[in-house]
Every structure is written in C-alpha cells, then in structure tokens.
Structure 1
Amino acid sequence: MSDPSVLDSRYSWFRLMVTVLIAIVINVGIWIPIVVMPAVQAEFAANRADVSIPYTLTMIGFALGNFVVGRAVDRFGVALTLSVCSVAVAITYILAALSPTLWVLIFLQFFIGFASAIGFGPLIADLSKWFLKRRGIAVALVASGNYLSGSVWPLALEAVGGGDSWRWSYSAIGIVTILTVPPLALLLRRSLPEDAMRIADTQSALRTKASGFTPRQLQMMLGVAGVGCCVAMSMPQVHIVALCVDYGFGAVVGAEMLSLMLLGGVVSRLISGTLADRFGGIPTLLIGSTLQCIALFLYLPAGGLVSLYVVSLIFGLSQGGIVPSYAIIVREYMPTKEAGARVGFVMMMTIFGMALGGWVSGVIYDLTGSYQWAFLNGIIWNGLNIGIMILILYRSQRGGDMQAVPAQ
C-alpha cells in the first residue's frame, strides 16, 4: 500500500546517507584532471590550453551524462543505472591509466565524465523525491558529496603515496569505485510510493501557477543562468593548482587550496540548503551568485600564499550553494516523474558552463600570460547569471508573491 509518510522519514535519511557515500566515491572523475594537470603537462610536453582539454572533455561528458543518465534513472530506476555506470567508469579509469598519448587520455576522459554523471544530477533528483519539508538540506548534502570527493580524494591519494603518479591515481580510483559503488547501489532499490509522489506534485503545480512562468520557460532561463554562473565558477576551481605552480608555490599547495575551496563549498551548500527550505530556491540562488561575484573580485589583487588561501576559502564559502539551488528550483516547480530529466538538463547546462570556462581560461592565459583577464571574464559571465535571477524574481513577484506557496 502507498504510504505518503515516507517523505522526510527515517528511511529517507538512511537513503540520504548511502547516496552521499556513493557521491563521494564516484564524483572524483571531474576533479582528478585538475589535480594531475601539471604532471600531465610535464609528461606530454603540452601547453596549458592543451592540458585544459581533458577537464573540458570530462565536463562535456559529465554534462551530457547528467541529462542522458537522468532520463535512464526515470525509466529504469537509480539502482540499476548506478550499477552499470559505476562498472563503466571503473573500467575507463584503468584504460586511461594506460594512455600512451595526451589525446588518448582526452578521449577517455569524456567517457569518465559521462559515466560519473550518475553521481551528481541523477542522484540528486532521485534523493529529492524522498523529501518535502527538508528537501533543501537533503539536496545540499547530496550535492556536497561532489565537493567532498574533490577534497578527500587528492589528499587520500597523496597520503598513500600515489600523488606523484597520475597513472597510479587513476588505477586506484577505478579499483575503489568497482569495489564500493555496486554494493551500495543495492541499498537504493526501493521505489517511491504513488501517494507520496502526488503530494509533492500538487505543491509543484501550485508554485508553477503562482510564478507566472511555464515549466519550459523557467527551465530554459535556468539553463542559460547555469552557463553564466559556472563559467565564472570554473576559473578558480579548474586553474587554482596551475596558478599556484606559476607563482612558485607548487602543485601540492594548489591541491590544498582546492581542497580548502571545496570544503568551504560544503559549508556553503549546507547553509544554502537551510535557506532554501525557508525562502525557496530562487532567492537562495541569487544570494549565492552575488557572493560568488564578490569573491571573484577578491582574486584580482591576491598573489601571496596567505592571501590565496584566504580568498580560496572565501570563494568556496560564497559559491558552494549555487548549483544545488538549481535542482531545488526544478523540484519545486516540476513533476516528480520528470525529475531525472529536468534536473539533468539544468545540471547539464551548468556543467557546460564549467567546461567552457575551464577551457576559455586556459586560452586567455596562453594569450596574455596571466590569469587576471580570465578572472575578469568570469566576473562578466557571473553578471549574466545575476541578471537572469533578478528577472525571474521580479516577474515572480509581479505575477503574485513567489512565497504564496511555502517553499517546503
């Protein structure tokens, strides 16, 4: 018998814990190209733009995977889809560790990104179905698995002696993935009851009517906004290790700054999730995007070791909650049965923004010999995101107070 009380239940929180563990393991695929960038550049004697391409192809695969794999989750369920993707990504890691050239590595990074996508948008969409009152914090916790992955894995690989060999690191990640993710996926086989789904969809329909936008219009606007904010977000995240090498601080210091940035992002996501439960996704996203823009300005004068540590932490604390807010907005306004595809589309657009920004920043560096103009480029794109969020907020208030339906 259907049981709507499963929403926000003890089982929901257990499912959340399992989902976060899976996200921590499988999301390393989008961070490892950043950490190994200097080592790959040295081994293959490539320029900075060329060694930015593995990350870009990873993010393109990750973006497409969020949409395609999200649709697969809607159709086949999260447990089966997760098992297939985890095996695929583990095999691809092993093959990538054997890459004879940079271009083979680039080719394989696309497939690592595609299969790793199961650990982001699709997992967020699935978990969001099991919460209503605490959906914001639940989504934030799952999304934090992405940042925790980027924080934990580089330090763990360094601690066990594999940090100096990017090939060793890829092999280790592949082995750990195939040993841990499929068993955890078996714990997510339970389906959401129909009555619980109807409760959530009733609230979503009421919010859509109050907003003054159709779901398609809102989704397209969120997609464009996602590109803007994530082109800006990618500059520090993708190039912080290379920036530290340029300043003479070394790749290890850069990896530490990336970890600090991502840990700050975890805190930001938790705070943003709490705000979203109280105020809704759109106001929360606007706050995060504005703070991110301010943090990007702070990078312009920073050049010393201490200042870069401080600004990296500020940046992480500023921007971490932005991307999860998109998923919360989609779930607030769109049907449960379309969650995988709808969340996957918006996540795809944010990731395309990360891919574009990571590559463009490398090109700007090669043209100017500095990251200053790359930071300015990010600030401009961030302004586009802020403008769209202000427009949505203004139109929503004109069409009837956006909070006429509680965002819980």
Structure 2
Amino acid sequence: MISQRLSTHAMYRWVVLAAAGLTLGVAMGFLVNGFSAFVVPLEMYFGWPRAHISAINSIGLVGIAVGGIAMGFAADRIATRTICLIGAISLSFALLLASMSDELWQFYALFFIAGAIGGGGLFAPVIALVGGWFQKGAGLAIGIASAGQAVGQGLVPFATGYLIELTGWQDALATLGICAACILIPLSLVMIEPPKLATGTAAPQHAPQLISPKIILPAMSVAVLGCCTGMAVPLMHLVPLIQGVCGVGAAAGGPLLLMLVFAVGGRIFFGGLADKIGPLRSWMAATTWQTVLVSGFILLGTMQAFWLFAPLYGFGYGGVMTGVLVSVRALTPPERRASATGIVLAFGWLGHALGGWQGGFFFDLTGAYDWTYINAALAGTINLFIVGTIFIVLRKRQLATA
C-alpha cells in the first residue's frame, strides 16, 4: 500500500511541475515584462511620458513584492490551491478592467492589485510547492518550472505586439484577461501539497543552518535587489530600444522572444548545475554572465546584431533567477520556505520595478538608453559582490564545522 502511494506521489509531482511552469508562463509572462508591448502604443495614444508609462509595470512589480510576502506567509498556513485561485481570479479581472481605463492612476491601481494578489499568489507559493514535491533534484525541478516563466516572458510580449496591431491596445488587454482566466483558474486546482507518508523510517532532516535566517534573508534580499534591477532593463526596454534603433514595429519583439527561448535552456542548465556544484556557485556564475553582457545591447545597431546577441545574453540571464530560488530553498528552514521565498522575491520585484522605471527615466532625461543599460551592469556588480560574500562566509563555517 505504501509503495503504491509512493508511486502515485512520484507521478503526480510531474503534473504539479507542468502546471507550475504553465502558470508562471502565463501570469509572470505578462506581469514581469509583457507590458513592454504597450509602452509605445500608450505613449502614442495618450501622450504620456515614457517614464510614467514604464511606472505602470513598475507599480505592478511593487505589488508582487508586497503581495508575495503576504501570500508566502499565507501559503505556509493554508492550501496553496486556495492562494492560487485567488491570484488567478484577481489577475484576470484586473486586466479586464485595465482595458477600460483612460486615466494613468487607474492603470497604477489595477496593476498594483494584479501584482499584489495575482502575482503574489502565483509565484512564491508555486515555487515553494514545487520544492516541496521534489526533495531530490529540487534545483532541476525549480529550473524547469521557472523555464516556463521564461517562455511566457518571451511569448506574451511577442504575441501581444501583434495582437495590439490587429485589435488596438484596449481589446488586447481584454483578450489577455479572458485568456488568463481560462488558463490559470483550472491550473490552480492542480496545486495541492505533497502527501506526508509514514514509511516506518525517519524523514530526512534538513541541513543545520550555518547562517541564521535573520542574517541570510536580508543579505540575499539586497543581493536580489541588484540582480533584478539589472535583468529588468532588457525585459522592459529591449523592445523600445530596438524600435528606436531599427525603426521597426511589432517585429522588435522577435529578439526578446529568442532571448527568452534561450533563457529556458539557461534556467534548466543552471538548475541542474546547482544540484552539482551548489546553489550559490550556480547563482554567481549566471550573475557574472548577465552583468558582463547586459550593457552590450547599447552597442548594437542592426536587427541582425540584436538577433545574434539576444540569445547569447539570454542563456546566462535565464540562470540567475533559478540560482536565486534554489539558494533560498537551500539556506532557509522548510517550515519557513514559502514565506522566505516571498520575502527575498519581494526585493527581486522591487528591483524589477526600479530597473524598469529608471530605464524610462534616463531615456526621458537623455533621449537614449545608454545610462539605462550601464546602470543595469552596475546593479549586477553589487549583487555579485554580496552573493560572493555569502558564499565565502558559508564556506568558512562549513570547513570549521567539518
């Protein structure tokens, strides 16, 4: 009987993993950078400054930061399925209402709600759930789930660009809201906790905490603030950059899509790498890749160059978030994993908000994207320094314990 239940457990975890990947692709594909396709259309329609329009997305990410903490604590106490259902319904309605908005404050309010309840309920709790189903190979499993997010972050703005050209921005937002409801609500019903099976043997104990959560959580939070500030810049401003440099329309989403297709491979690769060399080493390797290459976008001048450079950057960039998620799992106690994930990722979403906003701000200030991408590289350097310090301290304590 127990072996049969274990077999069922092993099979169902792949159902949860597939549902998690698709959920992250749809929800975060829009909330993280899908709005980039609306920047130029809203600028042309309303005449608002680009920094103000970029702030719509940034406020949504601030919402994810705030909501992620609350939903993470909630997921430690109540069913993840309930949290996900609330998030799916909230995100869908917010997009539908945004399609009828004509004031900037209305966009700000709706996207904050979409982020706080929708994004907050559909990211940290889902990632923590995947980690709970995969006690072995958690790095690879989280990498696969987050790869779904990377696919969504490429497909959503790419498809939305053409949808806007066909129907206008209002109908495009309404269509996205309907699609989100049809996809996310059924997927939420799949998100159940793994069973606790009594096997007659003691369950494996979590590794002792060599660094107190009171220290490791703030340190990782500040580090994530830096890495996400850097990664947000191409996500939000690569499409507008290409449109300005190359004079194209919806086709500007093509290199972004290719970048995020390669990021899928990066997320899976660095997740597997984390299982072999450790999560912090994997995180540092991916961060170095992203930091070194991100400012290269401002040196490009043709569509061919963007097509060639975007996937090179994307593979390394894709591994950063996998490194973050696996490191949080490895360095925090199991009973606090969802809330810890929510706290650290709150700073990640704040970084995304800061990176996206400063991109629009410096473009309005200078008329170019040079400082936008230079700031992204500086933020990545700060992240690398902090993660490296955590690794050195942890390594010393491991050696002292041994």
Question: Shared fold (TM-score greater than 0.5)?
Answer: yes
- 2:64 paired with 1:62: yes
Match of 2:42 in 1: 40
Conservation of the 8 A alpha-carbon contact between 2:359 and 2:369: yes
* C-alpha deviation, 1:132, in angstroms: 2.0
CA distance in 1 between counterparts of 2:100 and 2:380 reads 38
* C-alpha deviation, 1:338, in angstroms: 1.4
- Flag the 1:112–1:366 CA change in 2: closer, same or farther, 3 A: same
Match of 2:91 in 1: 89
Aligned mate of 1:214, from 202, 212, 215: 212
After the TM superposition, which of the residue ranges 390-399 and 23-32 deviates more from structure 2? 23-32
- 2:317 paired with 1:319: yes
* C-alpha deviation, 1:292, in angstroms: 0.6
Match of 2:125 in 1: 122
SS of residue in 2 equivalent to 1:256: helix
Conservation of the 8 A alpha-carbon contact between 2:88 and 2:188: no
- 2:96 paired with 1:98: no
CA distance in 2 between counterparts of 1:2 and 1:388 reads 45
Conservation of the 8 A alpha-carbon contact between 1:8 and 1:131: no
Conservation of the 8 A alpha-carbon contact between 2:54 and 2:360: yes
- 2:10 paired with 1:12: no
SS of residue in 2 equivalent to 1:399: helix
* C-alpha deviation, 1:371, in angstroms: 0.9
Conservation of the 8 A alpha-carbon contact between 1:120 and 1:146: no
CA distance in 1 between counterparts of 2:247 and 2:397 reads 53
Match of 1:350 in 2: 348
Aligned mate of 1:173, from 152, 172, 176: 176
CA distance in 2 between counterparts of 1:294 and 1:306 reads 21
* C-alpha deviation, 1:21, in angstroms: 2.1
What are the residue-to-residue correspondences of 1:4-403 with 2, within 5 Å? 5=6, 9-27=10-28, 28-114=30-116, 115-157=118-160, 165-193=168-196, 199=203, 202-205=205-208, 208-209=209-210, 213-401=211-399
Conservation of the 8 A alpha-carbon contact between 1:30 and 1:113: no
Conservation of the 8 A alpha-carbon contact between 1:6 and 1:12: no
* C-alpha deviation, 1:16, in angstroms: 0.8
Amino acid at match of 2:253: A
SS of residue in 1 equivalent to 2:133: coil
Q: Deviations over 1:259-294 (max 9, x none)?
A: 112112111101011101111210000000101111
TM-score (norm 2): 0.92
CA distance in 1 between counterparts of 2:16 and 2:214 reads 30
- Flag the 1:284–1:190 CA change in 2: closer, same or farther, 3 A: closer
TM-score (norm 1): 0.90
- Flag the 1:363–1:165 CA change in 2: closer, same or farther, 3 A: same
Amino acid at match of 1:309: W
Q: Deviations over 1:173-230 (max 9, x none)?
A: 211222232222222234441769x846x2332xx23xxx212211111100001111
SS of residue in 2 equivalent to 1:9: helix
* C-alpha deviation, 1:333, in angstroms: 2.2
Conservation of the 8 A alpha-carbon contact between 1:204 and 1:331: no
CA distance in 2 between counterparts of 1:361 and 1:177 reads 28
Conservation of the 8 A alpha-carbon contact between 1:98 and 1:167: yes
CA distance in 2 between counterparts of 1:248 and 1:103 reads 32
CA distance in 1 between counterparts of 2:163 and 2:252 reads 19
* C-alpha deviation, 1:239, in angstroms: 0.5
* C-alpha deviation, 1:237, in angstroms: 1.2
CA distance in 2 between counterparts of 1:195 and 1:147 reads 37
- Which residues of structure 2 form unaligned runs of 5+? none
CA RMSD of the aligned region, Å? 2.4
Q: Deviations over 1:124-176 (max 9, x none)?
A: 11111111221001111111222211222334446667655221121112112
Amino acid at match of 1:291: W
CA distance in 2 between counterparts of 1:403 and 1:148 reads 42
Q: How many residues end up aligned between the 2 structures?
A: 397
Conservation of the 8 A alpha-carbon contact between 1:323 and 1:347: no
SS of residue in 1 equivalent to 2:189: helix
* C-alpha deviation, 1:384, in angstroms: 0.6
SS of residue in 1 equivalent to 2:20: helix
Conservation of the 8 A alpha-carbon contact between 1:70 and 1:122: yes
CA distance in 2 between counterparts of 1:121 and 1:195 reads 28
Conservation of the 8 A alpha-carbon contact between 1:54 and 1:106: yes
Amino acid at match of 1:130: W
Conservation of the 8 A alpha-carbon contact between 1:282 and 1:393: yes
* C-alpha deviation, 1:386, in angstroms: 0.9
SS of residue in 2 equivalent to 1:233: helix
Amino acid at match of 1:183: P
